[in-house]
Amino acid sequence: MIQRIQTLYLIAAAVLSGLLMTGDLMIMENGAGTVFTVDFKGLGVSGGELVQRLWPLTIIIGLVPLLALVAIFLYRRRSFQMRVTMLVLQLSLGTLILGAFYIIMFDRKMDITLIWKVKAVFPLISAILAWLAYLSILKDELLVKSYDRLR
């Protein structure tokens, strides 16, 4: 299980997605000098007061590392493991799309200046790792099917 490269890809994707649950994802400053932060819990003022919960983002950020870890232990059922890995990929991309949606909506409501964090690229890297894991699982599946034809 651990000696397979897709396991390492999925562990790295789970760790990167798990890091999204800690700290700020992005910082926004409006023209009046108020600093807003977006984190795992939602949109808040820099002092710690939560302004609005962002439930879809919270759920997706929580599901990605969980499903990546579940996919690791599905190594005996490769076709199901491929489906779960593809779901991890789609949810990682969904995190990017939802984050962009929230940025656009906050910018429409108030004039904001974004201060990007390094964590903004973690969902993209996680999606790339999930894609690499999917390709490795597919390669294993094709190899097993080729051996079944020889019997």
Instruction: Judge whether 151 lies within some domain.
Output: no
Read off the pLDDT of residues 15-72 as tens digits, 9 standing for 90 and up: 999 999 988 888 888 877 788 888 888 888 877 788 888 899 999 999 999 999 999 9
Give the pLDDT of residue 19: 93
1 pLDDT higher than 80: no
Q: What is the DSSP letter of 148?
A: H
Look at residue 125 and tell me if it is in a domain: yes
Tell me, yes or no, whether 29 lies in a domain: yes
CA-angle at 149, arms to 145 and 151, nearest 5°: 120
Q: How many domains are there within the chain?
A: 1
Q: Is residue 150 part of a domain?
A: no
Distance CA 27, CA 134 (A): 33
The CATH number assigned to the domain holding 12 equals 1.20.140
Non-local (6+) Cβ contacts of 11 within 8 A are 68, 72
Q: Is residue 79 part of a domain?
A: yes
Look up the domain containing 104 and give its range. Answer: 5-143
pLDDT digits (tens, 9 = 90+) for 82-111: 999 999 999 999 999 998 888 888 888 887
Read off the pTM.
0.88
CA distance linking residue 10 with residue 141, whole number of Å: 17
